[in-house]
């Protein structure tokens, strides 16, 4: 983090500016200066962190009433520089920035947490691991793929499930291989009641012992979507608030996520591999080669309960405002965000610039 003399050129906003106004203002802006009226005002840290989480890559400068004791917090929140008065001694700032070289949790900066450093020593980097596993079992069956992932020493693995139309098959395979695997469910607050009932039914039936509900941050939700109507005006922002950001936080403690994606589901998934890397994290896709018929055969053979909405024509099920039934023969995901230029919620797309969405 740099220490700069005043005055830094760029867009200047007080930290009291509402988040949505800041996001609108920074589109196309190279430098944003956030002005603190008091050192104890944490809104500037929150604004910086959220902007970075949502992909804004411009230069971020803190100005006004900030203290050297806050140097590391500013850096970890995503600030690149601090604007300081002429003649102000830079030594305390430099000393605070150099005081510690270990972090224990992920944040907006590029510092690698201690637990991930240890993991990096214990195994190969994610890209090399994905390449090796694809070469070994990438064309194998789902159980073979799952077992290969679970066999990697020290690899912390969780599953991601929507408890949607085809979720039972993947969860059944996981339950039969390692039932204690954590299962992350994005509780957006917008699910069909049938989905919530199905989650409880399926979890009990399969003996899943660690289903975790991942919810949006309450303060962000109150600030960005207080009336729960954001999906009408900006579906991408709604997915970002309710899915992308919560998953990024919940998944930070895992090295790999298992997903139920399949190549046949949509054009955006035709090139999927069994193992891939997204933002430095391994993604495991055991069902990639399976067709809808393969999924149906496994479900029938195992007598797995169906999602109640499947019989009503819902082939892919997400939040109720953005999910509709599909006609026979249509793409399985054509009922998601129907009529909108959107095909993915964003959790499988990696980091993206929010302002360009």
Supply the residues annotated as catalytic: 345
Q: How far is CA 45 from the centre of its chain?
A: 20
3-class secondary structure, 275 = strand
Rounded CA-CA distance 355/23 in Å is 7
- CA 258, distance to chain mean position in Å, is 13
* DSSP string over 91-143: HHHHHHHHS----SS--SSSPPPHHHHHHHHHS--HHHHHHHHHHHHTTS-HH
Counting every residue written for the chain, the total comes to 357
Beta bridge partners of 212: 184
Alpha helices in the chain (DSSP H): 19-25, 43-53, 71-77, 91-98, 114-122, 126-137, 142-150, 167-177, 193-206, 218-224, 230-233, 235-239, 245-250, 292-301
Q: Could you check whether the bond before residue 7 is cis, i.e. omega within 30 degrees of 0?
A: yes
CA 106 vs CA 53, 198, 225, 280, 313: distances in Å: 11, 33, 25, 13, 41
Two tokens at 69? 């004791």
- Rounded to whole angstroms, the Cα distance separating 187 from 239 reads 12
Cα 189–chain centre separation:
17
């Amino acid at each position: 983090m740099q220490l700069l003399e005043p005055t830094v050129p760029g867009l200047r906003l007080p930290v009291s500016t509402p988040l949505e106004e800041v996001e609108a203002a920074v589109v196309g802006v190279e430098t944003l200066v956030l002005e603190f009226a008091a050192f104890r005002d944490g809104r500037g840290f929150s604004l910086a962190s959220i902007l970075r989480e949502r992909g804004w890559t411009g230069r971020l400068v803190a100005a006004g009433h900030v203290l050297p004791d806050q140097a590391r917090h500013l850096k970890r929140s995503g600030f690149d520089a601090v604007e300081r008065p002429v003649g102000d001694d830079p030594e305390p700032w430099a000393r605070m920035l150099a005081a510690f070289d270990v972090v224990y949790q992920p944040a907006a900066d590029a510092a690698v947490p201690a637990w991930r450093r240890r993991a990096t020593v214990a195994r190969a980097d994610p890209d090399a691991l994905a390449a090796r596993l694809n070469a070994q079992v990438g064309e194998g069956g789902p159980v073979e793929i799952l077992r290969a992932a679970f066999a990697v020493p020290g690899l912390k693995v969780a599953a991601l499930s929507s408890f949607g139309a085809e979720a039972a098959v993947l969860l059944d395979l996981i339950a039969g291989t390692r039932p204690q695997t954590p299962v992350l469910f994005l509780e957006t607050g917008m699910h069909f009641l049938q989905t919530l009932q199905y989650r409880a039914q399926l979890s009990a039936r399969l003996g899943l012992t660690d289903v975790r509900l991942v919810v949006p941050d309450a303060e962000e939700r109150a600030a960005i979507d207080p009336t729960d109507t954001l999906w009408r005006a900006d579906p991408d922002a709604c997915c970002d608030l309710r899915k992308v950001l919560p998953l990024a936080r919940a998944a930070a403690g895992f090295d790999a996520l298992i997903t139920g994606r399949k190549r046949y589901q949509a054009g955006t998934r035709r090139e999927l591999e069994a193992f891939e890397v997204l933002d430095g994290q391994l993604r495991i896709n055991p069902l990639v080669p399976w067709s809808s018929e393969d999924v149906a055969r496994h479900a029938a053979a195992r007598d797995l309960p169906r999602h109640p909405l499947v019989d009503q024509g819902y082939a892919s099920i997400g939040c109720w405002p953005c999910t509709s039934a599909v006609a026979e023969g249509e793409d399985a995901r054509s009922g998601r965000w129907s009529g909108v230029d959107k095909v993915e919620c964003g959790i499988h797309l990696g980091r993206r610039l929010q302002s360009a969405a």
